């Protein structure tokens, strides 16, 4: 499988390059970054300490979109929306880990999936996707008899909040309980907020230092509580999952999928039921 990395010079981009090189089923074919980057023209292998590969970092995706079977994009919403259009025109599959897409950008993604295969997930960690299924079970068992809070922490450079993973966790719980997250979510509290309403799902966000990613969903009742927690210590956990998704997409011509599909966990509230 020939893989292209978008945003190759960034922290996540470099980790993705390493993950592609480490996977026996993938070959790094393309690496692109933003125009004006000082690393344009550099060898992608040397960028990650793997020696020369003969894959130079380019700055124009449209010129390279046909050189890879699938592209992996962990960038920013505005850029990802453009990349989707370019890859759709070239017939290239896409693995998207960008979070914070608005409704219009999501509509662009869905429309493109009618022509090419796209995997779109808020988190590509195997452990996080297992947590989605565990959350579905916990919500179904504990029902409406607990208070539910989602607490997440990331590094100081993350620009969106709450994280896409935290929101997806909230969605899984809300859907399992028959609630609409847009109506029951509470994002932070300050001042005299009054007594907590049972049906709400609270979100707390921490941004500090170099925290890779930590998520906890708290189910609290009188006398006991259940916590489902995932802690990432390396971006490689996300990168390996994204590369696994890229290989899996090789068996699909078109459709919209997520990591629940890739891992065979689709169904219920944890999977988006797409494809």
Q: Same domain, yes or no, for 48 and 104? A: yes
- The DSSP line for the chain is -EEEEETTTSHHHHHHHHHHHH-TT-EEEEEE--TT-TTTTSBHHHHTTS---S-BEES-HHHHGGG-SEEEE-S-HHHHHHHHHHHHHHT-EEEE------HHHHHHHHHHTTTSEEEE-S---HHHHHHHHHHHHHHHHHTTSSEEEEEEEE-TT--SSS-HHHHHHHHHHHHHTT--HHHHEEE---S---SPPTT-EEEEEEE-TT--EEEEEEEEETTEEEEEEEEES-THHHHHHHHHHHHHHTT-SSEEE-HHHHTT--STTTS----
Q: Same domain, yes or no, for 239 and 222? A: no
Q: Same domain, yes or no, for 218 and 239? A: no
What does the mean pLDDT of the chain come to? 94
Give the CATH number for residue 19: 3.40.50.720
For 40-68, write each residue's pLDDT tens digit: 999 999 999 999 999 999 999 999 999 99
Q: Same domain, yes or no, for 256 and 227? A: no
Question: Any bridge partners for residue 219, and if so which?
Answer: 148, 226
Please determine, for residue 266, whether its predicted confidence score (pLDDT) is greater than 90: no
For 148-181, write each residue's pLDDT tens digit: 999 999 999 998 999 999 999 999 999 999 999 9
Q: Same domain, yes or no, for 114 and 156? A: no
Query: Which pLDDT does position 272 carry in this prediction?
Result: 46
Query: Which pLDDT does position 274 carry in this prediction?
Result: 41
Query: What number is the average pLDDT over the span 191-218?
Result: 96
Query: Which pLDDT does position 270 carry in this prediction?
Result: 56
Query: Which pLDDT does position 269 carry in this prediction?
Result: 60
Q: How many domains does the chain have?
A: 2
Instruction: Please identify every residue annotated as catalytic.
Output: 154, 158
For 193-205, write each residue's pLDDT tens digit: 999 999 999 999 9
Q: Same domain, yes or no, for 9 and 110? A: yes
> Which residues span the domain enclosing 24?
2-120+235-262
Q: Is residue 273 part of a domain?
A: no
Query: What number is the average pLDDT over the span 68-83?
Result: 96
Q: Is residue 269 part of a domain?
A: no
Query: What number is the average pLDDT over the span 126-132?
Result: 94
Q: Same domain, yes or no, for 74 and 166? A: no
Q: Same domain, yes or no, for 161 and 137? A: yes
Query: What number is the average pLDDT over the span 227-248?
Result: 96
Q: Same domain, yes or no, for 133 and 207? A: yes
Q: Same domain, yes or no, for 191 and 157? A: yes
pLDDT class for 100, splitting at 50, 70, 90? confident
């Amino acid at each position: 499988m020939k893989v292209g990395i978008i945003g190759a010079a960034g922290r996540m981009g470099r980790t993705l390059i390493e993950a592609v090189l480490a996977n026996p089923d993938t070959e790094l074919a393309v690496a692109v970054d933003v125009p004006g980057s000082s690393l344009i023209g550099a060898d992608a292998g040397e960028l990650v300490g793997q020696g020369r590969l003969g894959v130079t970092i380019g700055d124009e995706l449209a010129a390279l979109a046909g050189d890879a079977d699938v592209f992996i994009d962990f960038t920013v919403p505005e850029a990802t929306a453009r990349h989707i259009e370019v890859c759709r025109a070239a017939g290239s599959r896409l693995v998207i880990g960008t979070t914070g897409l608005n409704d219009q950008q999501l509509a662009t993604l869905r429309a493109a999936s009618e022509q090419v295969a796209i995997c779109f997930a808020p988190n590509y960690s195997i452990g996080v996707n297992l947590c989605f299924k565990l959350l579905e079970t916990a919500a179904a068992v504990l029902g409406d008899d607990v208070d539910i809070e989602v607490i997440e922490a990331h590094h100081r450079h993350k620009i969106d909040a709450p994280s896409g993973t935290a929101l997806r966790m909230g969605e899984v719980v809300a859907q399992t309980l028959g609630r609409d997250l847009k109506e029951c979510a509470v994002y932070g509290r300050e001042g005299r907020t009054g007594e907590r309403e049972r049906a709400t799902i609270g979100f707390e966000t921490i941004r500090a230092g170099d925290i890779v990613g930590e998520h906890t969903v708290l189910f609290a009742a009188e006398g006991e509580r259940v916590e489902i927690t995932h802690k990432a210590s390396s971006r490689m956990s996300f990168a390996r999952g994204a590369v696994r998704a890229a290989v899996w997409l090789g068996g699909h011509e078109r459709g919209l999928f997520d990591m629940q599909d890739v891992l065979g966990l689709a169904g219920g509230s944890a999977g988006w039921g797409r494809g």
